[in-house]
């Protein structure tokens, strides 16, 4: 193998749904073979080093940029990997994201190319592309000198990259992160090292929201740590008090602990709550409502684009509604967006995995005056079998999609007439669409961009019972 074969000159012509540039070798014994190049984007030319060879493709790392698209709007893009598409003009990002959905539907759902021409709508763009996130998760780690740092996790790595000029949230968030870092270093609080399962501080989650009664805007902080002794917990109380005093914008500070050795930013035990929102709840707007949720609850992170998402769902879902129709809302979260459409149905049976979210969904239903909405918590694949009537299904599962038992049950129901499926993963969405197509036909697919500058894309699919 020659030096040229190991360091080929590559013209990037495509983009994977993971945000990696795609090229083809133009010469040598492997000519024509696909090469995936992390960090490269369509329109660029790079010299890269082959680091992985398989029968069907190669993976290469950039060693020299010959022709580049130029800098991104954030200086940390090349290191943190959170915004892999940031150097692409936003209009081109949208074209590629729509194509991610199209390719998944062709290759995995096995829909016909001619059908897709009419089924796949134009992508809905995000109204905001900078500082659009209402939630950011920062991880604690150590730099090369062993000093504690707080930032974003590098792609496919346990390494943490400080991001003091992140373009996705306001400057105050970076100031808060710096204060947390300084306090932890002064008090000798160690970062959690996932690789060995040791250490204390794991994540700092920052959310923008509104107080429940006054709808005054503020910030909610969730510090996640490993279980600790009382004296260490007292230090975290002091951290909370210092932050609340230094930043009047902070409405609430929550400390939770997690014992499991994993990378999930989800607490297993709540230790304390301090601040104006002493019950740790906040409100976030959606359509013409404010949804109440806990600091740890799931909610869409792009507030302005979420308004577009619920409008798309409404347009697809409501033609199947009626006061004699029954809506089944799977993975309902805190009730969004299903509660927005409850008044158009006889009743809504909602199922949610997280008990706290299901309780919050019931509270939101009462606040909205929706007496026909009922939420239960538990395993979806079990609870769905106990729902007596379901003419219409609204589902918004996690990235892994629907479980096999849930899919099997939905296919066995004779009462189910239509499905409105919201997904953040085109691949698992297409897999489920293929399975559901045994009894349901795709009517419409609408991509929605909730995550500008990333390869992620939301999709809404309407399926109707085959005649």
Query: Using CA atoms, how far apart are residues 447 and 45, in angstroms rounded to an integer?
Result: 29
Query: Using CA atoms, how far apart are residues 454 and 209, in angstroms rounded to an integer?
Result: 23
User: Following DSSP, what letter does each residue of 190-235 receive, concatenated?
Assistant: PBPBTTTTB-SEEEEEEEEEE-TTT--EEEEEEEEE----HHHHHH
Buried b (16+ CB within 10 A) or exposed e, 70-90: eebebebbbebbbbbbbbbee
Per DSSP, 270 falls in state E
User: Following DSSP, what letter does each residue of 308-370 receive, concatenated?
Assistant: HHHHHHHHHHGGG-EEEEEEEEES-TTSTTGGGGGGGEEEEEEEES-HHHHHHHHHHHHHTT-
Query: Using CA atoms, how far apart are residues 460 and 371, in angstroms rounded to an integer?
Result: 27
User: Following DSSP, what letter does each residue of 152-172 receive, concatenated?
Assistant: EEPTTSS-EEE-TT-TTS-HH
Query: Using CA atoms, how far apart are residues 352 and 350, in angstroms rounded to an integer?
Result: 7
Of the residues 131, 177, 424, 466, which is catalytic? Answer: 424
Per DSSP, 371 falls in state T
Question: Would you call 379 helix, strand, or coil by DSSP?
Answer: coil
Per DSSP, 386 falls in state G
Task: Provide CB contacts within 8 A for 326, sequence distance 6+.
Answer: 345, 346, 347, 348, 349, 389, 390, 391, 392, 415
Q: 322-330 and 345-352: which strand pairing?
A: parallel
Query: Using CA atoms, how far apart are residues 344 and 309, in angstroms rounded to an integer?
Result: 18
Task: Provide CB contacts within 8 A for 20, sequence distance 6+.
Answer: 36, 37, 38, 39, 40, 84
Cα–chain center distance at 56: 30
Is there a catalytic annotation at residue 166?
Answer: no
Query: Using CA atoms, how far apart are residues 429 and 440, in angstroms rounded to an integer?
Result: 14
Q: What residues does 9 pair with on adjacent strands?
A: 47
Per DSSP, 384 falls in state G
> Which positions are catalytic?
424
């Amino acid at each position: 193998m020659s030096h040229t074969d190991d360091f080929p000159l590559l013209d990037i012509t495509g983009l994977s749904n993971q945000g990696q540039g795609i090229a083809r070798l133009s010469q040598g014994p492997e000519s024509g073979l696909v090469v995936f190049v992390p960090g490269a984007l369509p329109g660029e030319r790079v010299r890269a080093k082959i680091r992985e060879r398989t029968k069907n493709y190669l993976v290469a790392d950039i060693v020299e940029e010959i022709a580049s698209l130029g800098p991104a709007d954030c200086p940390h893009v090349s290191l943190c990997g959170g915004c892999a598409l940031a150097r692409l003009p936003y209009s081109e990002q949208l074209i590629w994201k729509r194509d991610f959905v199209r390719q998944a539907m062709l290759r995995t759902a096995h829909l016909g190319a001619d059908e897709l021409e009419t089924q796949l709508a134009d992508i809905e763009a995000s109204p905001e592309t900078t500082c659009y996130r209402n939630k950011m998760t920062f991880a604690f780690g150590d730099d090369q000198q062993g000093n504690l740092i707080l930032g974003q996790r590098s792609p496919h790595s346990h390494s943490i990259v400080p991001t003091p000029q992140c373009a996705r949230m306001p400057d105050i968030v970076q100031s808060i992160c710096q204060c947390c870092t300084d306090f932890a270093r002064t008090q000798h609080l160690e970062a959690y090292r996932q690789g060995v399962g040791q250490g204390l501080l794991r994540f700092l989650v920052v959310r923008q929201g509104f107080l429940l009664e006054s709808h005054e805007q503020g910030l909610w902080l969730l510090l996640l740590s490993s279980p600790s002794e009382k004296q260490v917990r007292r230090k975290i109380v002091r951290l909370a008090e210092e932050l609340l005093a230094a930043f009047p914008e902070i409405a609430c500070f929550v400390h939770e602990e997690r014992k499991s050795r994993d990378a999930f930013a989800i607490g297993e035990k709540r230790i304390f709550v301090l601040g104006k929102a002493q019950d740790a709840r906040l409100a976030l707007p959606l359509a013409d409502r404010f949804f109440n949720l806990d600091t740890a609850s799931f909610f869409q992170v792009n507030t302005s684009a979420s308004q577009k998402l619920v409008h798309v769902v409404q347009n697809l879902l409501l033609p199947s509604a009626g006061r004699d129709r029954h809506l089944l809302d799977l993975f309902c979260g805190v009730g969004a967006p299903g509660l927005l459409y409850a008044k158009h149905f006889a009743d809504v049976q909602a199922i949610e995995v997280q008990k706290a979210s299901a309780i919050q969904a019931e509270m939101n239903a009462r606040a909205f005056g929706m007496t026909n909405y009922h939420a239960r918590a538990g395993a979806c694949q079990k609870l769905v079998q106990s729902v007596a009537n379901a003419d219409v299904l609204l589902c918004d599962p996690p990235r892994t999609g629907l479980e096999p038992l849930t899919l099997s049950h939905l296919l066995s129901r004779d009462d189910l007439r239509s499905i409105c499926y919201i997904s953040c993963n085109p691949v698992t969405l297409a897999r489920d669409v293929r399975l559901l197509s045994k009894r349901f036909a795709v009517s419409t697919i609408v991509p929605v961009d909730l995550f500008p500058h990333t390869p992620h894309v939301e999709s809404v699919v309407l399926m109707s019972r085959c005649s």
